Amino acid sequence: MKNRDGWLFYWIRQYRDNKASLETLANNLELSLSEVIDLLAELGIEAPISYDDYVSGLKHLN
């Protein structure tokens, strides 16, 4: 578990420092985009997703 925490910390810092995209973060942590967004929210890190992006994503699901 300790090794996983280090990997998680590494990728979150990469994302926070704009060195990794949200998609890259999700892929490397083996999580869905929604899980990554929830994780970032829990840690107080905002994901750069606007309301318009959210609505656009919902349209693409249908």
Per-residue confidence band for 28, with pLDDT thresholds at 50, 70 and 90: very high
Give per-residue pLDDT as tens, 7-26. 899 999 998 888 988 889 88
* DSSP-assigned states of every residue in 17-32: TTSS-HHHHHHHHT--
User: Hey, how many other C-beta atoms are within 10 angstroms of the C-beta on 29?
Assistant: 18
Task: Look at 37 and 49; give whichever has higher pLDDT.
Answer: 37
Percent of the chain with pLDDT strictly greater than 70: 79
Q: In whole angstroms, how far apart are CA 2 and each of 5, 6, 8, 30?
A: 5, 7, 10, 17
Q: Could you tell me the residue range of the domain that residue 55 belongs to?
A: 2-61
Inter-residue long-range contacts of 46-51, CB under 8 Å, 24+ positions, other chains counted: 47/22, 48/22, 49/22
- Based on the structure, what is the number of domains in the chain? 1
Residue pair 41/47 in contact by the 8 Å Cβ criterion: yes
**pLDDT confidence of residue 37:** 85
